[in-house]
Structure 1
Amino acid sequence: MSLASYIGCNIEIPINDDEYSDEFFYIGGCFAGDFDLINVKKYQFTTPCVYEVSSHWGIEISENMNPKTCAESKKKLIELCKIMDSYLEKGDFFELYSCWVGEEAEKRDGEITLRINNFDIDQIEIPEKTLVRFEK
């Protein structure tokens, strides 16, 4: 199984459909199929536009993780926030959700809201199945 991360937003954003990209992080397909995107949109997000956030492993930040993987997730989250900040207008938001592929329709374990440019990456915890709303 693979941990996939998804974002939901109110605007269309460009994607990179090259699943073999050497880029450290991009918005586009990797693990999820169309059915997975439909389910995460239906069961987790409040937004009309849904994308997989591809990095060859999802974003999860928790004390139970391997320290190297957790550090990589923190780096990915910072990059995601930079990318989304360039697309969002003041007052808008995007949502982030990570889960194992195939579990998109399952009940989420938690929800948190963060300011897109105002959080301490070393003080947050984002385990799988947690919906995170990033507000601008």
Structure 2
Amino acid sequence: MSLASYIGWNVELLPCEDGEHNALIQIGNCFSSKYDKQHVKKYQFTAQFVYEVSSDWGIEISKDMSPSQCFESKKKLTALCEMMNDYLEKGEYFELYSWWVGEEKEKRVGELTLKMDTLNVDSIEMPKKTLVRFEK
């Protein structure tokens, strides 16, 4: 199984923008199918559009993870927020959700809202199956 991460956002990316990336994060396909994205949109997100956040592994920050995996997730989350900060206007948001591929319809375990301008990745816990809303 693979841990996949998705963002929900109220802006549609143009085809030429799909695959936007930096060193750690790419918005584009990796593990998911179009059906996985449909399930994510229906069961998890409030945002209109869904995109997979491609990386070698999903983004999860929890005490159950190894320190090295947690460190990598914090780097990925920081890179994602920096990238999305360039797109979002004040008052807008994006959502992030990570889980095992195939579990898109399962009930989430929690929800969290974070402000991007005061985000401290070292002080948050973001386990899989938690819907995280990042507000600018």
User: What residue number does 2:51 align with?
Assistant: 51
Write the distance in 2 (CA, Å) between the matches of 1:93 and 1:22.
20
Structure 1 spans left out of the alignment, 5+ residues: none
Distance of aligned partners of 1:87 and 1:68 in 2 relative to their CA distance in 1, 3 Å threshold: same
Write the distance in 1 (CA, Å) between the matches of 2:24 and 2:88.
22
Aligned-partner residue type, residue 74 of structure 2 = K
CA shift, 1:70, in A, is 0.6
Q: Larger % of helix: which?
A: 2
Instruction: State the TM-score, normalized to the length of structure 2.
Output: 0.93
Aligned-partner residue type, residue 18 of structure 2 = I
Pairing 1:16–2:19 present: yes
Write the distance in 2 (CA, Å) between the matches of 1:22 and 1:114.
22
Instruction: State the TM-score, normalized to the length of structure 1.
Output: 0.93
User: What residue number does 2:93 align with?
Assistant: 93
CA shift, 1:117, in A, is 2.2
Write the distance in 1 (CA, Å) between the matches of 2:134 and 2:22.
27
Distance of aligned partners of 1:40 and 1:67 in 2 relative to their CA distance in 1, 3 Å threshold: same
CA shift, 1:23, in A, is 4.4
Write the distance in 2 (CA, Å) between the matches of 1:119 and 1:22.
20
Write the distance in 2 (CA, Å) between the matches of 1:15 and 1:41.
18
Q: After TM superposition, what 4+ stretches of structure 1 lie above 2 angstroms from structure 2? A: 21-24
Question: CA offsets per residue over residues 28-80 of structure 1, 9 Å max, x none?
Answer: 10001111000000000011110000112000000110111110000000000
Write the distance in 1 (CA, Å) between the matches of 2:65 and 2:48.
31
CA shift, 1:15, in A, is 1.8
Aligned-partner residue type, residue 5 of structure 1 = S
Structure 2 spans left out of the alignment, 5+ residues: none
Q: Decide whether the 8 Å contact of 1:3 with 1:58 is kept in 2.
A: yes
Distance of aligned partners of 1:22 and 1:45 in 2 relative to their CA distance in 1, 3 Å threshold: closer
Write the distance in 1 (CA, Å) between the matches of 2:44 and 2:82.
23
Question: CA offsets per residue over residues 93-123 of structure 1, 9 Å max, x none?
Answer: 0000000001111100000000012121111
Write the distance in 1 (CA, Å) between the matches of 2:35 and 2:71.
30
